[in-house]
Amino acid sequence: MARRSSSQLRRLRSASGSGFTLRPVILPVVAPSATSQGAGLTPTVSEARGTQYFEANIEEARELVAQCAAGSVRGQECANAEVAIVETEGKERFDAFMGR
Quickly list DSSP for 3-15. ---HHHHHHHHHH
Q: Is the model's pLDDT at 86 over the cut of 60?
A: yes
In a domain, 11, yes or no: no
Quickly list DSSP for 25-42. --PPPPPPPHHHH-TTTS
- Is residue 44 classed as helix, strand or coil in its secondary structure? coil
- 25: pLDDT confidence band, cut at 50, 70 and 90? confident
What's the structural domain count of the chain?
Answer: 1
In a domain, 64, yes or no: yes
Global pTM exceeds 0.75: no
Q: Mean pLDDT in the chain? A: 79
In a domain, 89, yes or no: yes
In a domain, 60, yes or no: yes
Domain that holds residue 77: 47-98
* Model pLDDT for residues 50-61, shown as the tens digit of each residue: 999 999 999 999
Of residues 19 and 62, more confidently modeled: 62
**C-alpha–C-alpha distance, residues 72 and 65, integer Å:** 10
Cβ(49)–Cβ(76) under 8 Å? no
